[in-house]
Amino acid sequence: MSDQHITRRQAIKFAGGASATLVAWPPLVNLVAGPRTAIAASSCASLTPELTEGPYWVNTMLRRSDVRANSPKGGSRQAGVPLDLYINVVDTPGGCKALDSVAVDIWHANAYGVYSDESSQAAGGGTSSAAGDTSADNWLRGYQVTGKDRGLRSSPVAGQVSFRTIWPGWYTSRAIHIHVRVRKLSSTGSTIAGYTTQIFFSDGDNDRVLTGAAPYNTRSPRTDPTTDENDTVLTSADHSKNVIAVKGNVHHGFSATFNIALDNAEVAATGSLGRPTTGGGGNGGAPPA
């Protein structure tokens, strides 16, 4: 199973979007519990790559902060170590001002390396429960709108969204990761523009979870066969921007912050979802189209 091919569903979806130039900086984990202050302009000076969307994007339009269970039918939550994820979005040309009213989607594999809303897949090297038809499910998918949705906070925070999810599991050929899409939506909910990147964790943090908590430690092998260093998408130049630090432990869960900055003018553009030829490029290249 690989994130480097496009499904027919994806090819159709790619036709209607646009892209944004993305800038990001190393995570500021203290923002999770710290004051809600503007992020310094000096902190968002380096470009970050636009990383491939992969084959498992589905526009579920699930506006929610807790993505662990199916919606709206509910049911049991996906088993795994809890992860509270905070994502801050700012407008670089605007002096890193918090960017409100953009949708931020996340989607990722469960503890067995399987995605929801897929008719067939196999995580590779896992247990028999790590394969099959999940087309009736939508767990570990959802979006929030910056400055509009409170997420895990008591009230909305400018430029921020937050999600309660679980630590992803591994699957063959990819290091553990979370997909993130920032997009501007029309009044009807259709995507006007957007770009996609991916969040990674250190190999050490991944090993702590995979060997120290169920159901990750019931798989064989327990540790991720594909590390950050040999992942097919993440390059060494991307580590400082896309590999984030975490706070917490396997017993009580983790929290993490991912800070991204983009050009609001390009987010409002129309056209291809790939990164435009103008606007800075970045490592990793444009997603397949």
Q: Give the per-residue pLDDT at 72.
A: 84
- Cα 151 to chain centroid distance, Å, stands at 15
Class of domain 8-265 as given by CATH: mainly beta
pLDDT tens per residue across all 289 residues of the chain:
444 333 334 433 333 333 333 444 443 333 344 334 344 444 565 545 678 888 898 888 899 999 999 998 778 899 999 999 999 887 777 777 888 888 899 999 999 999 999 887 777 765 444 457 898 999 999 999 999 999 999 999 999 999 999 999 999 889 999 999 988 776 666 665 677 889 999 999 999 999 999 999 999 899 999 999 999 999 998 888 899 999 999 999 999 999 887 776 656 554 433 333 333 222 222 222 2
The DSSP-derived string for 110-150 is: -TTS--SS-S--B-SSS-GGGBS--TT--TTEEEEETTT--
d(Cα 141, Cα 63) in Å, to the nearest integer? 9
Give the number of other Cβ atoms within 10 Å of residue 283's Cβ. Answer: 16
CB 224 within 8 A of CB 203: yes
| Tokens 């992020």 belong to residue | 39
Do 27 and 244 touch, CB atoms closer than 8 A?
A: yes
In the Cβ-directed half-sphere of 254, how many Cα atoms lie within 13 Å?
23
pLDDT for residue 137: 93
- pTM for this one? 0.80
Domain boundaries, the chain: 8-265
Q: Residue 179: name the closest of 58, 279, 78, 96 by CA.
A: 58
Q: Two tokens at 90?
A: 């700012």
> Would you tell me how many other CB atoms lie within 10 Å of the CB of residue 53?
25
